[in-house]
């Protein structure tokens, strides 16, 4: 049994945890907002999910380094849930979806289903991840090009976009491509851990200095970072319609999280308990939902960043959540210019 979960911060690792938490927290702010956009919900729901999920998972999972945040795969599933757009209260419908996803994960954990994931082959996971990547690219062409194409699905809309180059917004496209290029370049420098943050700040500042007002910012989307999330209750009337999406989200989140359980040893050298990680991710989803966050799961990329940045224990995740909260409360007006 892993006892590290109940430990207090250790002086020997705290400096490393603080440094890793700072990196993960700063990186998670633009990443969380982007995940919310990818999911087609209020970007704040993505950031709140990151903030609440990370700290909740830190105290409830078996894995020392598992960052419970939104993932691209889960965001794509959320984007396809029509109830979230059709509901009379989209924000409460999202709360309901997150809570139901958490309940499904809790049930899986209580039934000790963690061992079942060994039957998911590597080939299936590779195909799944590549399919998610393609869908993410196709789904974000409108934000990248400034042109919202018509069509019944992402593939048709992508073809429509490429067939109408004259309708693309050149400045929006230039900013998007420069941001991507800068992230790729910075990942090959000592700034690689903060490459995303530096790239977003640099390109956002350039847009402001150049006076390119037609390039949309978070403020233009009506997103205002004015404080920490407040509790919100689920909308019971949409529960039946959200049961299947919630189970699907739980499965995807748990499968991705299992990769962390299998590949990241705990701080004490033990392997995490996958079923307990199921429970921890369930707790994180319930907490995320009740605080207006979107569904979350074990993020392989965020967990790897946390470990690469030098984390020595799960307290780095607590620091990361505190950093996110400080940015939201103290620098919300600045982030709104992104």
Say if residue 6's pLDDT is above 60.
Answer: no
How far is it, in rounded angstroms, from Cα 114 to Cα 265? 16
Residue 53 inside a domain? The answer is yes
| Locus of tokens 């620091």 | 319
How far is it, in rounded angstroms, from Cα 66 to Cα 264? 8
Say if residue 237's pLDDT is above 90.
Answer: yes
How far is it, in rounded angstroms, from Cα 209 to Cα 194? 22
Phi, psi values for residue 298, rounded to 5° = -65, 120
Contact 10, 311 (CB under 8 A): no
pLDDT tens readout for residues 251-267 = 988 888 877 877 788 87
Residue 115 inside a domain? The answer is no
Q: What is the pLDDT of residue 93?
A: 96
Q: What is the pLDDT of residue 3?
A: 46
Residue 304 inside a domain? The answer is yes
Say if residue 1's pLDDT is above 60.
Answer: no
Residue 140 inside a domain? The answer is no
Return the percentage of the chain with pLDDT > 90, whole number. Answer: 44
pLDDT band, residue 271 (cuts 50/70/90):
confident
Report which of residues 231 and 13 the model is more confident about: 231
Q: What is the pLDDT of residue 241?
A: 96
Q: What is the pLDDT of residue 7?
A: 62
pLDDT tens readout for residues 97-124 = 999 999 999 999 999 887 776 666 667 7
Task: Please give the DSSP secondary-structure letter assigned to residue 192.
Answer: G
Q: What is the pLDDT of residue 151?
A: 84
Specify which residues 67 forms β-bridges with.
299
Q: What is the pLDDT of residue 261?
A: 75
Q: What is the pLDDT of residue 337?
A: 66
Q: What is the average per-residue pLDDT within 283-300?
A: 95
How confident is the prediction for the chain on average, in pLDDT?
A: 87
Contact 231, 291 (CB under 8 A): yes
Residue 67 inside a domain? The answer is yes
For the ranges 122-131, 242-251, 325-334, the maximum mean pLDDT occurs at 242-251
Contact 5, 171 (CB under 8 A): no
pLDDT band, residue 5 (cuts 50/70/90):
very low
321 Cβ contact partners less than 8 Å away, ≥ 6 residues apart: 25, 51, 52, 54, 55, 58
Number of domains composing the chain: 1
Q: What is the pLDDT of residue 152?
A: 82
Q: What is the pLDDT of residue 336?
A: 65
Q: What is the average per-residue pLDDT within 208-230?
A: 78
Task: Please give the DSSP secondary-structure letter assigned to residue 10.
Answer: P
Residue 258 inside a domain? The answer is yes
pLDDT tens readout for residues 139-188 = 888 888 888 888 888 888 889 998 988 889 889 999 989 999 998 898 88
Contact 13, 312 (CB under 8 A): yes
Q: What is the pLDDT of residue 2?
A: 47
Residue 155 inside a domain? The answer is no
Q: What is the average per-residue pLDDT within 236-240?
A: 95
pLDDT tens readout for residues 40-69 = 899 999 999 999 999 999 999 999 899 999
| Locus of tokens 């309708």 | 167
Residues spanned by the domain of 80:
11-110+215-335
184 Cβ contact partners less than 8 Å away, ≥ 6 residues apart: none
Residue 185 inside a domain? The answer is no
pLDDT tens readout for residues 62-90 = 998 999 999 988 998 999 899 999 998 99
Phi, psi values for residue 264, rounded to 5° = -120, 110
């Amino acid at each position: 049994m892993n006892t590290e979960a109940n430990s207090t911060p250790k002086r020997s690792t705290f400096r490393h945890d603080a440094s890793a938490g700072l990196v993960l927290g700063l990186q998670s702010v633009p990443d969380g907002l982007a995940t919310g956009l990818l999911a087609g919900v209020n970007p704040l729901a993505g950031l709140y999910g990151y903030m609440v999920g990370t700290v909740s998972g830190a105290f409830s999972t078996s894995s020392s380094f598992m960052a419970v945040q939104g993932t691209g795969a889960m965001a794509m599933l959320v984007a396809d849930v029509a109830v979230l757009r059709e509901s009379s209260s989209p924000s409460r419908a999202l709360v309901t979806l997150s809570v139901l996803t958490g309940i499904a994960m809790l049930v899986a954990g209580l039934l000790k289903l963690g061992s079942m994931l060994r039957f998911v082959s590597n080939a299936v996971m590779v195909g799944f991840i590549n399919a998610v990547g393609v869908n993410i690219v196709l789904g974000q062409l409108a934000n990248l090009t400034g042109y919202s194409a018509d069509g019944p699905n992402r593939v048709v809309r992508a073809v429509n976009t490429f067939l109408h180059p004259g309708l693309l917004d050149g400045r929006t496209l230039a900013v998007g491509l420069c941001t991507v290029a800068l992230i790729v370049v910075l990942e090959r420098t000592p700034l690689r851990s903060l490459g995303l943050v530096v790239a977003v700040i640099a390109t956002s500042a350039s847009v402001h200095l150049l006076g390119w007002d037609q390039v949309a910012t978070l403020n233009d989307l009506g997103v205002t970072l004015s404080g920490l999330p407040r509790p919100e209750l689920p909308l019971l009337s949409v529960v039946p319609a959200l049961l299947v999406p919630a189970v699907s989200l739980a499965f995807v989140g748990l499968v991705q999280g299992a990769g962390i359980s299998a590949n990241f040893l705990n701080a004490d050298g033990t392997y995490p308990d996958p079923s307990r990680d199921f429970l921890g991710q369930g707790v994180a989803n319930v907490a995320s939902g009740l605080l207006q966050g979107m569904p979350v799961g074990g993020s392989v990329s965020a967990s790897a960043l946390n470990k690469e940045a030098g984390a020595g224990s799960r307290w780095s995740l607590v620091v990361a959540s505190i950093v996110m909260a400080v940015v939201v409360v103290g620098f919300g007006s600045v982030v709104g210019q992104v």
